[in-house]
Chains A and B, each alone.
Chain A
């Protein structure tokens, strides 16, 4: 489980996050949604330690991550997998080397065992046989799937996903969402997804946090979204005519 308590983050004079508290349960897709500039990605980066919160604490399974130094964080980080918005695959490495990279650094497995794990992860994301390709040779959707394969290579307890559907067509977006959902349930992972894709929210949003101007504005599930009277959330969720029509039918 991940808990965040009273997180503030300021860049110069600009207060991006204003006292956000929440808890994210294992085996669930926890979605952080909000319009552009609402602080979603900043919150995600504060949780994983890429940004240090100005105030507040982050707990991974009860351990205060914020108070730890670099070395103390390493054991927790080996349980973290992250899929970045642009996949962030290492350009100079093949698909196989990308997936084996954390295994090379943090495990004592033999080369054959690492290769077996890499092949398993690639099969799990339906990319078997792409081992020797370089990231530049992959499509956007394939890069996302390799990113997921790399993120799960160390069998993480926590999976963080930043805008999984950006730049993808609707069909591939659904594939990626389904894959994340399956992995979360299968391995009981605590998954935190930052998105503003309403298909994802309605499809896999078991626990949704809505950020507005750096504050937690609403919290609930995708089933509750359609019936909320929260004006800002309604403005965000039902901004498109398609969603308005869908709401009218409910």
Chain B
């Protein structure tokens, strides 16, 4: 375990060496940002709308008492969405979508000698392949989380409109009541950390792939599993520290 941790840290150090040519690396960062950000928008939109709607209906069901104001349901749905569902569920989904893509892309480059080709040319392969992915993940995943929060709350509103469990007015009043900006800060810190974990862990798994197609698949699976475990662990740590 310590051997792997050491290798991971050394790979990260190599990844952030001075680039051979900044413009080439910048173009790669932009390409990765489009791939990660725009490419993940659809899945994030779908899960956020449904999770927001389901959360609101469930909270309304649990609070169905004449003694409790229904605005509370909006408040609970808002905080759950901002603090937990949007950053964490989005990150777990992105570990599957973005992480597996990173691990399999780098792993395939390793087994087809494309990484060797980079090294022969004098290119710092970890820097060229990994750092743009980490930078793009750490910048795009927070943006995706903001989109997820917005759509999650919209999903809650739509659930109110169509289910009638809470009136839309109560829901909006609850969402606006006692809003604390710290919750959004926590969500964004989580998103940045999760972005780093997903990209770096999956890149590490891909970079040290050896063998063939089977091993590329195994690296991809390992990358996703380890990322998910680390996301949940980091979620707990950040929540404990910041709240």
Contact = CB atoms under 8 A, between A and B. Distances in A.
A154 B117 CA distance: 14
Interface stretch (A11-19, A69-77, A181-189): A69-77
A104 B117 contact: no
A217 interface: no
Contacts of B24: 104-105
A74 B122 CA distance: 5
Interface of A: 48-50, 70, 73-75, 77-78, 80, 82, 84-86, 88-91, 101-102, 104-106, 154, 160
A70 B116 contact: no
A41 B109 CA distance: 19
Given A48-B120, A50-B119, A77-B121, A84 B113 contact: yes
A154 B123 CA distance: 14
A89 B117 CA distance: 8
B20 interface: yes
Contacts of A78: 121-122
Contacts of B113: 84-86, 88
A244 to B, nearest CB: 35
Interface in B119-156: 119-124
Interface of B: 20-21, 24, 108-109, 112-114, 116-117, 119-124
Given A104-B24, A105-B20, A90 B120 contact: no
A-B pairs, top 9 by smallest CB distance, nearest first, are: A77-B122, A88-B113, A74-B122, A88-B117, A82-B120, A84-B113, A105-B20, A102-B121, A88-B114
B122 A73 contact: yes
B26 to A, nearest CB: 12
B121 A86 contact: no
Contacts of B112: 86, 88, 91
Contacts of B117: 82, 84, 88, 90
A11 to B, nearest CB: 12
Contact of B124 (A50, A70, A86): A70
Nearest to B111: A86
A193 B111 CA distance: 21
B116 A88 contact: yes
Nearest to B116: A50
Contacts of A86: 112-113
A115 B71 CA distance: 64
B116 A105 contact: no
Nearest to A147: B117
Contacts of A74: 20, 122
B121 A105 contact: yes
Contact of B20 (A50, A91, A106): A106
Nearest to B21: A105
Contacts of A84: 113, 116-117
A77 B120 contact: yes
Contact of B120 (A50, A89, A91, A104): A50
